[in-house]
Structure 1
Amino acid sequence: MKKTTFFLYLLIFSTVSAIGKTTNPIVISPKKGDMTAIIAKTLEEVQTEDIHLIFEKGVYRFKPDYARGKYMDITNHGNGYKRIIFDFSKFRSVIIEGNGAEFVFHGQLMPFLFENSKNIKVSNLTLDWDIPFTFLGEVVAVNEKEGWRDIKPFHEGFSWKVKNGFLEFPNIDDFSYEYPGSTLAFDPIEKRPVHGTWDINSKPEKVEKLPGGILRFHEKLNYYPPIGSLLSSKGDREHDRYAPAFDFKKCNNIELDNIVIHHALGMGFLFERSENIKLGNSGIYLREGTNRVISTTADATHFANCKGAILIESCRFENMLDDGTNVHGTYVELDEVIDQKTLRVKLGHFEQRGFDFVIPGDEVWFIKQPSPERRETAVVSLVKTVNDEYLEVHFVSDVPIDLQPGDILENKTWNPTFTMRGCIIKNHRARNVVLKTPLATVIEDNYFSSMMSSIFFRGETFFWYESGAVEDVLIQNNIFEYCAYSGMEHAVLNITPRLSNAFDTTTVYDKNIRFINNTIHTFDNRIVSADRVDGLVIKNNTILKTGGIEELYPEAPLIELINCQNTKIKDNFYEGDCKVAIKADEHSLQTLLTKDNEGFDSIKNKNSNKP
């Protein structure tokens, strides 16, 4: 670690460790039954801006009946009225000592909200739900021609019913999803997504009860799960992300240690416009001995428009239904140039509605069609909220004269440095790590196994509107094992911007990504797929092809380059039977350097004008 980075962490986390010395701790003991009202009363009676809670070891149960609530905009979740157990919005600093306490939640609840806090320290807690918001059953028969599948549903620990030909789950407190929705097949032994599986958006015509407790789902599918697999559903997309377990909004100096989440109704840890974060020795994974296959119903960790230093260290993330982590900013689309210093902009994705894209003092990049490059900047002087979708943004100086509707704005001020070290991420849907910050990023000494791409770079100017292009990434000394086993084609390292048709799809987007000293155990071929990268280095990696697992894309190359420049592929070792080592288009070939790649020489290279 560089000296400057080390001293930055030291300064940040010595500050965090010093908080809470000015307030007397409140000791809380476990009681039988619902403790929601007790916690609400405790928080309401604190008159200071600092709070220090100490929980005695034991089990604490929470229900939504008496939970305090309010309307909330939560990025990448459903906005709406949320019932919250621990609402720390009024506190400047928060310390929570869990001492191994276990919090068990029931129904639609948001466990923790921190908002505008300056110092936060939470340690030694376990979170779970008594009944998960998922449906699970074993696939016992499939008829693709007639379009049905037979499922033997799990009863113990789950809640559901069939009413008027429709499946209703979780059937808790008068709430159920409208249809099975996001559905995925899991291996019953490994408890990870089935090899070659595809996402299913399930909306059956009817669900029929058969003898022996079997349910027949009448539904034509493009992909039918294999007999013997466990099929898990988490509900329709409009409602399947109620809230994260922990939500941090506009907070500074956050330290989380030894926190385990076994289930949540959305993400595990969500950080929105927050600064200086350390998550260590924590996990999101299944409880030992459980019959479940799902932990959180969305990402383990998610960082939206954060800044300062982010460190995730010695953590374990498993069985989520989305990424291990996603670090990104937000693109907004220019709707209208109102005057020389005023723009109206639009928040593009429905789960960004109400998000604070900028505040006065923030600096903004202008990205003008057709180039995706960051160009001029300006500082925000005033923001007027039109509604949850549109903002009027006023600037200190004149905006560029050639702006036009459809151009993109990106917040330059709110981007973090990011480090992930010594973590294990596996057995879940989607990607291990998604990276979209231009500042220094280090991914080292981790163990990764992914259904989709393991390390994923995708800034996109439509649909998700997640910025942005990376400029300084080091990926080193990691172990990648059994990655990219989804039915859809992926790569272990996948760099693939997704820009709207108004933008040039040949211009460089990401820069300076170094993939060094990693070990990859792969059943398939595609290790690196890179599109529009300047300065990609693939060096000193060991790639070992393992047998005994079906290849999904046997014709794919080890490395594919599309519209890249200044790529270096050197000193790598490969052992296996791939048909094509390096596939590159003409533009990528012009500045491509390959040298001393052992095992590559026996494999032909393929040059193409097309990706």
Structure 2
Amino acid sequence: MIFSKVKSILFLFFLITFGVSGQVADTIKVTQFGVKSNSYSNASKGVREALEKCKGKQNVVIQLPGGRIDLWPEDAIKKEIYISNSTESDTLSKVKSIGFYFDNLENVTLDGNNTLVVLHGKMVSFALFNCQNIEIKNIQFDYERPTMSEVTVVSVSPSAIKMKIHPDSRYFIENGKIGFYGEGWKSNSHHTISLDKEKNLMRYSSFGPFLKSKAIQEENRTVLFEGDFAKEKYKDGDVLSIRDTYRDNCGGFITLSKDIVLSNVKMHFMHGLGIVSQFAENITLSKVVVAPREDSGRVIASFADCFHFSGCKGKILVDGCRTSGSHDDPMNVHGTHLKITEISQDKKIIIVQFMHHQTYGFEAFFAGDSISFVSPQTLKPIVSGKLKSAKLINKKEMELVLDGKISDKVKVGDVIENTTWTPEVTIKNSRFERTNTRGLLLTTSRKVLIENNIFYRTGMHAILIANDASSWFESGSVSDVTIRNNTFEECAYNSGTIINIAPENHELVEGYYVHRNIRIENNTFKIFDKPILSARSTDGLFFSNNTINQSDLLSAGSNENSFSLTACNNVVIKNNKFGTTWKPKITTDKMTKKQIKTDIKDLNSK
């Protein structure tokens, strides 16, 4: 028995020391390539050369020096990248500067040694192309000049507002007008979100009144704005975060790669869409934090989303993560509907087109993929098929050759979904807070588990399950979703219900339901308003054994319904505990009483 234990320990030691491949792990230190911590000099060349040294090796650890290193676009890898939900439809260059560029690498670990990597200009922190078995760990990324400007209201009167400009936000005053700039850029628009720091609430705002007023420079980065503020609702202590709406970058990018792990990674600011995984397989985010550095005094860490998964497959695992301070959704998982624009006479070839102006330019289908032909009006699958070949014929169109003929039921104007590239998703032990929009957006047909998370004051829905072929064209009908043992604390203060199941099927089909099998159980809801759950076109919806307690954070709105259901089937709402001063109400539309089982007495049908 003792001998057996000794053998197990020795085997474990062998794996750690030599790696799974049985080879001694090569250690490449970036200091060998001229990178020095706390030198504040450009380390881009040294980092690039260290990663190039990994080519051809089977088991490599790249080690950073600790402290701080700085990366500039100069000497960094430049590559044209088309990023889902982030590629603006115009003629401007799509070439990005990449800090850590992983290209066709296998079995590589980037050990950051808790190094703070400071980016200059607009850069992608890291990008992985055609890689396998990569781990990025123990590293922090930030911007010397975030592309988000932040100001704090110091004093308010009907004719003047005084503001303190954050030290990281560069600005100028010219002819009495304020403007913001950075390393190689200048703001052309001023999309603004306000943060009530006292209540930790974020809301859409406007910088327009300040742009119309006269800006006067005072001491210590304080600016006085003289103008008409009588109708404005700013108050002392509010923080305004201001950015361009133009998405021309992302925080990190993972594409056509497999078995990728991010562990103990801190993203203190990301310009653009956040960490984007696009047609990648098996992605693990473990203890990944998107939040400003604690000593920075900033409130925003992400220009848009935090974690974005587009057209992925395998397993997505988000475990022990935290997001705080994003201008858009902490997490979004979806596929993409492409519209059929042409069908060949022999019904074997179709031309499909990207429809949303921010999503195009990359291959969305591959030879051997299974596809589903879908009606854009009903979101009902028409028939399925398999691809013999697929190629991008221009930035917005693909030519797909089918393995067999297309059904006569399919027509130009229908859309297709790639059903091979759909992931299984687990999100657990994580916290999502300080966003004015939603918490999680999820549309995937494979198993989804959301458990032991905290959703703290998300401005809109904490969880949204959508699917559409008319707006964002984000595809995916869910078939197995479990939401359990989570805490939803004072969410949806800007609009909507806490959990929203809202497919955009503009035409209902009797007997067909877009989403299926959604279980919401053993969760705790702390709510100030009455709406909790809304659902449309869902078959098999269970809301049970949840605890709902009342909060006095804000006054309730006019919507009296706790549950709003449209064209759903097999709904069970039972055994929930309501610690509220009001009794819950359910309203249904396009449903019969046989389609819902509930112990709530107040049930109304439209």
Q: Same fold (TM over 0.5)?
A: yes
Q: 2:142 aligns with which of 121, 128, 140?
A: 128
Instruction: Confirm or deny that 1:508 pairs with 2:513.
Output: yes
How far apart in 2 are the matches of 1:215 and 1:346?
A: 50
Identity of aligned residues (%): 26
Q: 1:519 aligns with which of 519, 524, 528?
A: 524
List runs of 5+ in structure 2 lacking aligned partners: 1-14, 89-93
- State the partner residue of 1:178: 188
Q: Is the CA contact (8 Å cut-off) linking 1:19 and 1:95 kept in structure 2? A: no
Residue 71 of structure 1, CA deviation: 1.5
Q: Is the CA contact (8 Å cut-off) linking 1:366 and 1:410 kept in structure 2? A: yes
Q: 1:494 aligns with which of 493, 500, 504?
A: 500
Report the AA paired with residue 470 of structure 2. F
Q: CA 1:35 to 1:19, structure 2 compared with 1: closer, same or farther past 3 Å?
A: farther
Instruction: Confirm or deny that 1:446 pairs with 2:453.
Output: yes
Residue 218 of structure 1, CA deviation: 7.4
- State the partner residue of 1:5: none
SS of the residue corresponding to residue 88 of structure 1 reads strand
How far apart in 2 are the matches of 1:151 and 1:573?
A: 47
- State the partner residue of 2:7: none
Instruction: Confirm or deny that 1:474 pairs with 2:478.
Output: no
Residue 206 of structure 1, CA deviation: 4.0
Instruction: Confirm or deny that 1:71 pairs with 2:73.
Output: no
Q: Is the CA contact (8 Å cut-off) linking 1:19 and 1:119 kept in structure 2? A: no
Instruction: Confirm or deny that 1:406 pairs with 2:417.
Output: no
Report the AA paired with residue 188 of structure 1. K
- State the partner residue of 2:554: 550
Residue 328 of structure 1, CA deviation: 0.7
- State the partner residue of 1:48: 56
How far apart in 2 are the matches of 1:220 and 1:375?
A: 56
Report the AA paired with residue 67 of structure 2. G
After TM superposition, the structure 1 = structure 2 runs for residues 348-497 of structure 1, keeping only pairs within 5 Å, are 348-368=355-375, 370-449=377-456, 450-486=458-494, 489-497=495-503
Residue 21 of structure 1, CA deviation: 4.3
How far apart in 1 are the matches of 2:412 and 2:395?
A: 19
Q: Is the CA contact (8 Å cut-off) linking 2:204 and 2:436 kept in structure 1? A: no
Instruction: Confirm or deny that 1:533 pairs with 2:538.
Output: yes
Cα deviation, 1:441-475, whole Å, max 9, x if unaligned, reads 00011111211100111111122110111110000
Residue 176 of structure 1, CA deviation: 1.2
Q: 1:305 aligns with which of 293, 301, 311?
A: 311
Residue 325 of structure 1, CA deviation: 1.1
Residue 167 of structure 1, CA deviation: 4.1
Residue 436 of structure 1, CA deviation: 0.3
The number of aligned residues is 573
Q: 1:154 aligns with which of 162, 165, 187?
A: 165
Q: 1:236 aligns with which of 237, 244, 257?
A: 244
Report the AA paired with residue 170 of structure 2. S
Q: 2:270 aligns with which of 261, 264, 274?
A: 264
Instruction: Confirm or deny that 1:118 pairs with 2:132.
Output: yes
Residue 279 of structure 1, CA deviation: 1.1
Residue 65 of structure 1, CA deviation: 2.4
Q: 1:251 aligns with which of 235, 241, 257?
A: 257
Residue 536 of structure 1, CA deviation: 0.5
- State the partner residue of 2:112: 98
Q: CA 1:274 to 1:424, structure 2 compared with 1: closer, same or farther past 3 Å?
A: same
SS of the residue corresponding to residue 514 of structure 1 reads strand
Q: Is the CA contact (8 Å cut-off) linking 1:267 and 1:302 kept in structure 2? A: yes
How far apart in 1 are the matches of 2:176 and 2:408?
A: 59
Residue 19 of structure 1, CA deviation: 6.6
- State the partner residue of 2:20: 18
Residue 40 of structure 1, CA deviation: 2.1
Cα deviation, 1:281-300, whole Å, max 9, x if unaligned, reads 22111221332110111212
CA RMSD in angstroms, aligned pairs only: 2.8
Q: CA 1:322 to 1:219, structure 2 compared with 1: closer, same or farther past 3 Å?
A: farther
Report the AA paired with residue 473 of structure 2. Y
How far apart in 2 are the matches of 1:463 and 1:233?
A: 27
Q: Is the CA contact (8 Å cut-off) linking 1:277 and 1:309 kept in structure 2? A: yes
Q: Is the CA contact (8 Å cut-off) linking 1:372 and 1:507 kept in structure 2? A: no
- Farther-moved stretch of structure 1 (227-236 vs 256-265): 227-236
Q: CA 1:276 to 1:36, structure 2 compared with 1: closer, same or farther past 3 Å?
A: same
How far apart in 1 are the matches of 2:233 and 2:23?
A: 56
- Farther-moved stretch of structure 1 (412-421 vs 148-157): 148-157
SS of the residue corresponding to residue 351 of structure 1 reads coil
Cα deviation, 1:501-534, whole Å, max 9, x if unaligned, reads 5776995211111000101111111111111111
Residue 541 of structure 1, CA deviation: 0.4
Report the AA paired with residue 522 of structure 1. I
SS of the residue corresponding to residue 62 of structure 2 reads strand
* Normalised TM-score (structure 1): 0.87
Report the AA paired with residue 137 of structure 1. V
Instruction: Confirm or deny that 1:564 pairs with 2:568.
Output: yes
Residue 184 of structure 1, CA deviation: 0.7
Q: Is the CA contact (8 Å cut-off) linking 1:531 and 1:562 kept in structure 2? A: yes
Q: 1:330 aligns with which of 327, 331, 336?
A: 336
Report the AA paired with residue 380 of structure 1. L
SS of the residue corresponding to residue 243 of structure 1 reads coil
Q: Is the CA contact (8 Å cut-off) linking 1:27 and 1:56 kept in structure 2? A: yes
- State the partner residue of 1:6: none
Report the AA paired with residue 608 of structure 1. S
Q: Is the CA contact (8 Å cut-off) linking 1:444 and 1:475 kept in structure 2? A: yes
Residue 225 of structure 1, CA deviation: 4.4
- Farther-moved stretch of structure 1 (245-254 vs 266-275): 266-275
Q: CA 1:521 to 1:66, structure 2 compared with 1: closer, same or farther past 3 Å?
A: same
Q: CA 1:151 to 1:297, structure 2 compared with 1: closer, same or farther past 3 Å?
A: farther
How far apart in 2 are the matches of 1:227 and 1:49?
A: 58
Q: CA 1:106 to 1:193, structure 2 compared with 1: closer, same or farther past 3 Å?
A: farther
Residue 306 of structure 1, CA deviation: 0.6
- State the partner residue of 2:3: none
Q: Is the CA contact (8 Å cut-off) linking 2:122 and 2:271 kept in structure 1? A: yes
Q: Is the CA contact (8 Å cut-off) linking 1:370 and 1:504 kept in structure 2? A: no
- Larger strand proportion of the pair: 2
How far apart in 2 are the matches of 1:330 and 1:421?
A: 25
Q: Is the CA contact (8 Å cut-off) linking 2:197 and 2:239 kept in structure 1? A: no
Q: Is the CA contact (8 Å cut-off) linking 2:312 and 2:423 kept in structure 1? A: yes
How far apart in 2 are the matches of 1:419 and 1:386?
A: 35
Cα deviation, 1:304-357, whole Å, max 9, x if unaligned, reads 111111111111111111112111111111112123011111101122111221
SS of the residue corresponding to residue 210 of structure 1 reads strand
Q: CA 1:200 to 1:579, structure 2 compared with 1: closer, same or farther past 3 Å?
A: farther
SS of the residue corresponding to residue 381 of structure 2 reads coil
Residue 185 of structure 1, CA deviation: 0.8
How far apart in 2 are the matches of 1:229 and 1:185?
A: 10
Report the AA paired with residue 585 of structure 2. A
Cα deviation, 1:467-498, whole Å, max 9, x if unaligned, reads 11111000001111111111xx2111111112
